[in-house]
Amino acid sequence: MPAITLLDEIREKAKKLKKHIVLPDSLDERTLRAARIIVDEKIADVTLIGDEEKIYSLAEKIGVNLSGVRIVNPLKSELLSDFSHIFYNLRKHKGISFDEASETMRNPLFFGAMMVREGMADGSVAGSTSTTADVLRAGIQVVGLMEGVSIVSSFFLIVFPNKVYSFADCGVVPNPTAEQLADIAILTAVNHKKLTGEEPIVAMLSFSTKGSARHEMVDKVIQATEIAKSKRPDLIIDGELQLDAAIVPEVARIKAPDSPVRGNANVLIFPNLDAGNIGYKMAQRMAGAEALGPLVQGLKKPCFDLSRGCSVEDIVNVVAINCVMGQS
């Protein structure tokens, strides 16, 4: 499925869900242009977080009409006091003072995340001017992890003309434990189905296939596979598998004849960030795949990070993906 077709489908799904997304990086002209498109195409309702005078000034400068786009200034909002108390109670065990909590809530990233936490918005998308560390910190500290999930991770949709894969983790967790790797596999499988409509077939990747090599790194993948299967016996998950045994049926018949994956994997789980990051960039740069992501997963509600080199179209697409991933 070409990337443009998949993204069109995701946008159509988002329109039907009628979600409300906050955009904290509101003093970036790409964000304002994206907000106009998102509202015009009815992909989602949008709230910009920041100083309204500066936002309107920038919008006028670049010729963007913000009618229909809501703006909330944390410094003037009647919600600031309540949000500060909530954040203080969430973080006081870490030694934070109320004044520090109140100062943190003045930050658009944290204010936006609190709107998501409190059900005033369905998701957040930032990162065009904010760092990944700051975006994830706001999501983790305010929204929090999904119940039963041990780690925040990410995945990429890797789109070839006739096949869509999900690769994880390629952007967040450097060296996941077996338990974390299992959670990454399960989350990626669930999100692959939400975004593509396909049944996930999950391969836990390694440099070994079914005992062809012995090493502690292989042992981690084997253990992660067992944990993932025990948590979600309804999913097709197998490992350890080399890439060719995971995606080439002819090779799978030779190397892993008893594997339920049968060389048809569409969800590829890499053992560490080295392998995942290299793998997705090879697919993108050498094989010409469209790489959509990184898409953050593992939070109770979706708070997504963007590349600071993102385009307006990237922001629009990530908002649509946020809407679809946020459905229960």
Lowest-confidence range among 110-119, 206-215, 225-234, 244-253? 206-215
Per-residue model confidence (pLDDT) at position 292: 86
Q: Kindly tell me if the per-residue pLDDT of 319 is higher than 80.
A: yes
β-pairing, 267-269 with 70-72? unpaired
What is the CA angle 202-162-246, rounded to 5? 30
Q: Report pLDDT for 1.
A: 59
pTM: 0.87
Instruction: Walk me through the domains of the chain, giving residue ranges and CATH numbers.
Output: 3-144+299-325 (3.40.50.10950), 153-290 (3.40.50.10750)
Flag whether pLDDT at 216 surpasses 60.
yes
Q: What is the DSSP string of 150-165?
A: ---EEEEEEEETTEEE
What is the overall mean pLDDT for the chain?
Answer: 94
The answer to whether residue 308 scores a pLDDT higher than 90 is no
Q: How many other CB atoms are there within 10 angstroms of residue 103's CB atom?
A: 13
